[in-house]
């Protein structure tokens, strides 16, 4: 369980550096970079601007290479190669990658324990219990990728931080 969180979050740091030229350090401040990356992905998907994705990435093949690697690590049996647009499974893998990173940032700052996976439609997601509050960062990232800026992860983090602080007092 924890290995997958670690591996997915490490995949996020690798993808951020290789595809976006951004170094993530698991700090609260690094979530600004994550939100920017998620915004670029959403903009590309919503406009079908595949050629403009990530600025320096010419097409989605590099992203799918990353997703294929992550999927193979966990035997999700998903073939993400040679596609022009992402499937729901592709978005879910990407959500696990970035959700795990966000979860690790929260865990590092506020503590907490990773719980049992929960079913979310046809997928599963890890839960993180912080000060009695159960959160599912993967679901938040999935919403960010499908709904856009209305599900901004910086706002999500600020709201959660406020709740965590209240519980500590």
The span from the CA of 104 to the CA of 64, in Å, is: 23
* pLDDT of 166 over the 80 cut: yes
Highest mean pLDDT among 10-14, 30-34, 94-98: 30-34
> Which H/E stretch holds residue 113?
strand 113-114
Write down the pLDDT at residue 165.
94
Q: Mean pLDDT over residues 9-20, rounded?
A: 91
Work out the pLDDT band at 116, boundaries 50, 70, 90: confident
CB 7 within 8 A of CB 93: no
Distance (Å) of CA 6 to CA 1, 9, 82, 104, 107: 9, 5, 27, 8, 12
What is the pTM for the complete model shown?
0.82
**What structural domains does the chain harbor?**
2-161 (1.20.120.1090)
Report pLDDT digits (tens) over 44-102: 776 654 434 444 444 455 655 656 555 555 444 444 444 456 778 888 989 999 999 99
Q: Mean pLDDT over residues 145-166, rounded?
A: 95
């Amino acid at each position: 369980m924890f290995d997958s969180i670690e591996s997915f979050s490490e995949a996020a740091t690798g993808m951020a550096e290789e595809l976006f030229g951004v170094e993530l350090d698991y700090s609260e401040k690094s979530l600004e970079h994550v939100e920017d990356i998620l915004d670029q992905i959403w903009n590309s998907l919503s406009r079908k601007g595949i050629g403009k994705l990530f600025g320096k990435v010419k097409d989605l093949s590099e992203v799918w290479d990353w997703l294929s690697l992550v999927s193979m690590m966990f035997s999700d049996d998903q073939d993400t190669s040679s596609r022009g647009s992402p499937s729901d499974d592709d978005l879910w893998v990407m959500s696990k990658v970035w959700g795990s990173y966000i979860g690790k940032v929260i865990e590092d700052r506020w503590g907490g324990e990773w719980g049992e996976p929960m079913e979310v439609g046809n997928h599963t997601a890890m839960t993180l219990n912080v000060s009695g509050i159960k959160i599912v960062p993967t679901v938040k990232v999935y919403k960010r990728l499908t709904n856009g800026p209305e599900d901004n992860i910086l706002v999500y983090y600020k709201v959660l931080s406020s709740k965590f602080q209240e519980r500590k007092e």
